[in-house]
Structure 1
Amino acid sequence: MDIYDELLRWAKGEGVELFGIEPCRIPGRGIGIAATRDIQKDDRILHVPTTTLRTIETVPKHITKNFPKDARVHGLLAADLALETLSSGSKYAAWNAVVPSQSDIFATLPLTWDPALHPFLPPPALALVQKQLSKFALDHASFQAALQSLHSPSPVARDTYLYTWLLTNTRTFYFETPRTLRLRLPCEDRMVFQPVADLFNHAAVGCAVSFDAASFTITADRAYAAGEEVYICYGQHSNDFLLAEYGFVMEENRWDEVGLDEVVLAELDAKQRERLEERGFLGGYVLDADTVCYRTQVALRLLCVPLREWRRSVDGGVCEGEEAAQAKVDRLLLKLLRKYLGKIDKTLETLGTLDIGEAGQREMLSMRWQQIRGLVDKTIMGLQS
């Protein structure tokens, strides 16, 4: 029996209901979910009872009691998966059989790439990967300490735990349980696994995912024809976020943006940074396909107008010579973006000559920098018109 047929057999036995959808292989993109019949907007297409979820409550007590009281749910779920690899006859065997392999995960996600490739990540993606590394180090240390307390007969390799940690990072859904609410866990750590639903691929706009105490429900966001792939939206994320967190970028992403922190911050002296920080405008500078963010405008204006006028504009006051001030900001932005284009082109040229990492990883980086170049080019053309 095909592993996806076995998954569906198991899931249906657990109360999971599918309405006009099924897992399918997507050429060049692995596994996804496709419509088996015509689906109408607002049709319910998947129902997953909460009794089927893998949550902090399903992690065996002998594991949780050996972790610190403030251990993250992420680390606990990853520990449960990692220790499960040492046992046989898991109730989740059919589910485990369909997840990406360790080699697939390690080839895809930047955290596991050759560190020599990390400097070629766009800065927002690199910042996310660095945060992941810090979180993983803490969770792994807790896991190692727990193993000693458990007197585990078989050691668990770091890569095994990293693999299950990344599976948890990429395949879980947001969910609130009485325990997560009682523990006041941060939103990013209110995570659960749910079968079948974790096979949906991402689109910038996708089917609606909702939950209550009894179940998760996925509802069609539009009409789908039989045979068409059906998507959910993982969130309104830029391609830098998708690359760092999920290991892919979208060719067309309505939520894409370019980080400008390195472009803008390099122009600011210590006093200017201090003034921006006092007003809550230090960093977080971006542009998207339509606009340059207000935070960027505020920072550049500090470089273009007298301090008193800048303060008045930040406070929402009307400044004399507003058009002239904005023209100065636009000219400075144009200069900085042209300079940034030079760096982008140099990065792309260097990537074309590298022989570190895997070819697919370098191609992914080149694709991402080409997208960034396109967004910067569009903004430059708008400033020049």
Structure 2
Amino acid sequence: MEPHEELLEWATNQGIKLDGITPTRIPGRGIGLIATRTIKPEEILLDIPTSCLRSIATVPRSVTRKLPSSISVHGLLAADLALDTSTKYDIWNAVCPTPEDFSSMPLVWPNELQEMLPRPGQVLLRKQQAKFSRDWEEVSAAFPDLDEAQYQYAWMLVNTRTFYYLNGRLKKRNKEDHMCLQPVADLFNHADEGCNVSFDDEGFSIKATSAYAAGDEVKICYGGHSGDFLLVEYGFVMDDNRWDEFPLDDFVLPKLDSRQKERLEEVGFLGKYVFDREAVCFRTQVALRLVCCGVREWKRFVNGIDDGEASQNKVDKVLLDIFGQLDGYIEENRAAVIRQEIGSPGQKELLLKRWQQIKDLVVANISNLGMRN
């Protein structure tokens, strides 16, 4: 019997109810959940009782009493996974990613490749590294015999497989600590739109939001995340991500002098410039009008008195220049990744794909600007 088939049998015995879906091994993508019949919107596909969750409430006292009460729930759950020597969760553990599967996570990449991540990815990775370091420092002090690689593997399992969850013991925690692990549900892969996930005191329910045919993979949405977030936090990139975006600060801010930056800061529009597949954000439009227009005209635009139509052509010309610079920057980075001899082929392929996704956003915007002018 395959591990996912054993999991299904175990889950049913635990009171977990699946209706219309089943775990299946998908070539090249691990295990996912596949529709076994036609599914209609609003059907409940999975019910998981609270008794099956691994949360702050299920971590043994032998672990919690040795750790400071301030340790993150992420760090605590990872410690529980890394230190567990019982057979209670063996069937569940058997379908989890292996340490080798996590080679796609930038957290374990060589430094040379980490430094080739797009800027947003580098920022996210530094925050992730800091979180892991804090948790490992506290756990290793309490359990000095625990191997760091073993703990890091458990920490990445928690990072990639937890669900938002709130109970009485979590209410006083930071929002990022509102989490739990749940069997079967952690097999759902990500889509930018997916099934609805909800919970109450009884447990979790996952409901279809669209129709599926028998044989379709059924997915959930991990959140409206950019490609850089998906890569750093989950170790994959996704084509046609409707939430993808990229910052423009490095290309917009150099076009502003100190007085212009002061004016933007005064009205709350300095920095945080981004674009997606469709267009640049309104903040970018505000900043570039200060470059293209007189101050009076700019103020009318900021205050909503002027719709900016008269100045849009000037702004578009600056945008075309910015996207040209960004395209060159992308190509430089892609070439550097190709030349890099450190890192596995799979890691470099992921990195190149992410840079290509950003280029695709740029090309789409250049095309949109061309159609408008």
Q: Distance in 2 between matches of 1:157 and 1:118?
A: 23
Q: In the TM superposition, what whole-angstrom CA distance separates every residue of 1:260-297 from its partner, at most 9, and x where no partner exists?
A: 22222333445544543443333322111212101211
SS of structure 2 residue aligned to 1:178: coil
Q: Aligned partners of 2:262 and 2:153: how far apart in 1?
A: 41
1:151 maps to none
State which drifts further: 292-301 or 127-136: 292-301
2:78 alignment partner, SS class: helix
Is 2:80 aligned against 1:93?
Answer: no
1:1-385 matches, cutoff 5 A: 1-84=1-84, 87=85, 89-105=86-102, 107-147=103-143, 155-181=145-171, 183=172, 185-314=173-302, 316-319=303-306, 322-385=308-371
Q: Distance in 2 between matches of 1:277 and 1:81?
A: 47
Give SS of 1:162's match.
Answer: helix
Q: CA deviation at 1:311?
A: 4.2
Partner SS for 1:355: coil
The 3-state SS of whatever aligns with 1:375 is helix
Query: Equivalents in 1 of 2:358, 2:308: separation in Å?
Result: 30
Q: Which amino acid aligns with 2:46?
A: L
Structure 2 Cα separation of the partners of residues 189 and 238 of structure 1: 21
Counterpart of 1:180, as a letter, is L
> Do the aligned partners of residues 69 and 119 (structure 1) sit closer, same or farther apart at CA in structure 2, a change above 3 Å counting?
same
1:170 aligned counterpart, secondary structure = helix
Deviates more, 1:271-280 or 1:20-29: 271-280
Gaps spanning 5+ residues in structure 1: where? 149-154
Q: CA deviation at 1:46?
A: 0.5
Spell out, residue by residue over 1:3-56, the C-alpha distance to the aligned partner (whole angstroms, 9 max, x if none): 112212222221111112111111111110111222222211110001110001
Partners of 1:239 and 1:137 in 2: CA distance: 24
AA partner of residue 95 (structure 1): W
Change (3 A) 1:277 1:58: farther
> What secondary structure is seen at the aligned counterpart in 1 of 2:87?
coil
- Structure 2 spans left out of the alignment, 5+ residues: none
Label 1:26 to 1:146 Cα distance change in 2 as closer, same or farther (>3 A). Answer: same
| 2:79 partner amino acid | A
Measure how far apart 1:119 and its partner are.
Answer: 2.3
The 10-residue stretch of structure 1 (274-283 or 367-376) with the greater mean CA deviation from structure 2: 274-283
Structure 1 pair 323–36 and aligned structure 2 pair: CA distance change class (3 A): closer
In the alignment, the residues of structure 2 paired with residue 4 and residue 111 of structure 1 have an alpha-carbon distance, to the nearest angstrom, of 27
TM-score norm. by structure 1 comes to 0.91
Three-state SS of the structure 2 residue aligned to 1:356 is coil
Q: Deviations over 1:73-97 (max 9, x none)?
A: 111111111111xx2x331111111
Q: Which amino acid aligns with 1:359?
A: P
Deviations 1:279-324 (A, max 9, x none): 333332211121210121122223333445444533x1425x9444
User: SS at the partner of 1:120?
Assistant: coil
Whole-angstrom CA distance in 2 between matches of 1:130 and 1:32: 30
Kept in 1, the 8 Å contact 2:301–2:308? The answer is no
**What is the aligned residue count?**
371
CA distance in 2, matches of 1:69, 1:310: 52
Aligned residues of 2:75 and 2:136 also touching (Cα < 8 A): yes
Q: CA RMSD in A?
A: 1.9
Structure 1 SS opposite 2:46: strand
CA distance in 2, matches of 1:104, 1:191: 23
Whichever residue aligns with residue 348 of structure 2, its letter is: R
Cα distance between partner residues in 1 of 2:267 and 2:151: 42
Between stretches 134-143 and 327-336, larger displacement belongs to: 327-336
* TM-score, length-scaled by structure 2: 0.94
**Corresponding residue of 1:152:** none
- Between the aligned residues of both structures, percent identity stands at 51
